[in-house]
Amino acid sequence: MSKNAKHFSIVGILIPIVTAIVYYTISTFFFELPEAASAEASIIDDLFNGHYILIAFLFAIVVVPLVYSISVFRQEEGDETDAPHIHENTTLEIAWTVLPIFLVIGFGIWGVTNYNAVIASEPDEITIYVQGYKWDWTFYYPDHDYKSDQALVLQEDVPVLLEMQSSDVIHAFWVPGFRVKQDVYPYDTENQALNFASGPDYDPEPYHFKPQVMRFTPVKEGVYRVRCAEICGTSHYSMLANVFVLSPSNYQAWLAGDYLLPPDPNLVNSQPGEGYYLDALNDFTIENGFTPPPPPELAPVEDEG
């Protein structure tokens, strides 16, 4: 019995240590999330953090006894006898069935409240229409009757409501920095009223069509990327669009046409694979003969040395 007590105490000491090490490793390095750039990202990252603790703990309570057993409970050379005949312990069985149920309930409740917080609508949302199509995105600002083919431009700290639809197959709108993801479903490709990829109008009413909605509040100036997350054919991998989160003054200037977005010469979908990804976000040198204003977020280029 004292021998068993020794085994249990060693394992008991190792479990919290391993939990701490694993948690530290995955949360600060191995599964480190992209920088949170939306209000929703912070909410979701809390849940991520909870899961990381859970993962570290469950990892430890399985791996520590497993590795310990492998190193200690080995059959010795020449020993032909079997191990002790221990085949059940009802208390233990009930414990490890019931305790996880409490964990599950806990994470279930957390998951629900977290999700409700993520999808909660905010006052003063700006509505933007998003159209996904093979293999690009178009954005339409109904308040300003403005269509942006190249990029989604948002104002820092202002909540947005995206009303999204597709012209062909299912796509999915995802910006890793914002965390949130939403599948985008097709609607009438022929109907101009619903298809602002080729015209500025957008009127979902006639067909009771409910576009997919997604809400988030960008909180950090910078350049991000929409990445289509649902397989949609040939150039699914390059179905990207830039997202610019601008400061209020720059956003107003952009609406007024005074602020030119840093064009991204590499964001060309027609030539998959060819120089397409080359350091897109750091290289704004343009062949078109004009010098764009410095891109947002990116720190002013310091002279080296």
Q: Which of residues 212-231 bind another protein (CB under 8 A)?
A: 212, 225, 227-231
- Binding segment for another protein (CB under 8 A), chosen from 107-115, 121-129, 136-144, 147-155, is 107-115
By CB under 5 A, is residue 164 in contact with Cu ion?
no
Alpha carbons 141 and 200: distance in angstroms, whole number: 9
Based on the number of CB atoms within 10 Å of its own CB, is 28 exposed (0-12), middle (13-18) or buried (19 or more)?
Answer: exposed
By CB under 5 A, is residue 236 in contact with Cu ion?
yes
| Closest to another protein by CB, 44 or 246 | 44
**Which residue from 41, 130, 228, 243 is in contact with Cu ion, where contact means CB under 5 A?**
228
Residues 256-295 that bind another protein (CB under 8 A): 272-273, 276-281
Q: Which two tokens stand for residue 291?
A: 């010098």
- Binding segment for Cu ion (CB under 5 A), chosen from 17-25, 142-150, 173-181, 235-243, is 235-243
The per-residue DSSP string of 196-259 comes to TTSSS----GGGT---EEEEE-B-S-EEEEEE--S--STTGGG-EEEEEEE-HHHHHHHHTT-S
Alpha carbons 265 and 280: distance in angstroms, whole number: 8
- Binding segment for another protein (CB under 8 A), chosen from 64-72, 124-132, 142-150, 293-301, is 64-72
Q: Which residues of 15-25 are buried (b: 16+ CB within 10 A; e: fewer)?
A: beebbeebbee
Strands 126-133 and 160-166 come out as parallel
**Which residue from 20, 53, 65, 297 is in contact with another protein, where contact means CB under 8 A?**
65
Alpha carbons 235 and 149: distance in angstroms, whole number: 18
Spatial contact of 107 and 52, defined as CB atoms under 8 Å apart:
no
**Which residue from 18, 128, 232, 240 is in contact with Cu ion, where contact means CB under 5 A?**
232
Q: Which residues of 159-196 are buried (b: 16+ CB within 10 A; e: fewer)?
A: bbebbbbbbebebbbbbbbbbbebbbbebeeeeeebbb
75 binds, among another protein, Cu ion, none (CB under 5 to 8 A by kind): another protein
Between helix 39-72 and helix 90-119 the angle, nearest 10°, is: 160
Q: How far is the CB of 283 from another protein (least distance, A)?
A: 11
By CB under 5 A, is residue 239 in contact with Cu ion?
yes
31 binds, among Cu ion, another protein, none (CB under 5 to 8 A by kind): another protein
34 binds, among another protein, Cu ion, none (CB under 5 to 8 A by kind): another protein
By CB under 8 A, is residue 158 in contact with another protein?
no
- Binding segment for another protein (CB under 8 A), chosen from 92-100, 148-156, 247-255, 292-300, is 92-100
By CB under 8 A, is residue 34 in contact with another protein?
yes
Spatial contact of 241 and 140, defined as CB atoms under 8 Å apart:
no
By CB under 8 A, is residue 128 in contact with another protein?
no
- Sign of the torsion formed by the C-alpha atoms of 252, 256, 260 and 265: positive
Q: How far is the CB of 214 from another protein (least distance, A)?
A: 9
147 binds, among Cu ion, another protein, none (CB under 5 to 8 A by kind): none
The DSSP element (H or E) to which 94 belongs, if any, is helix 90-119
37 binds, among Cu ion, another protein, none (CB under 5 to 8 A by kind): none
By CB under 8 A, is residue 247 in contact with another protein?
no
User: Can you give the binding site for Cu ion, defined by CB under 5 A?
Assistant: 171, 228, 232, 236, 239
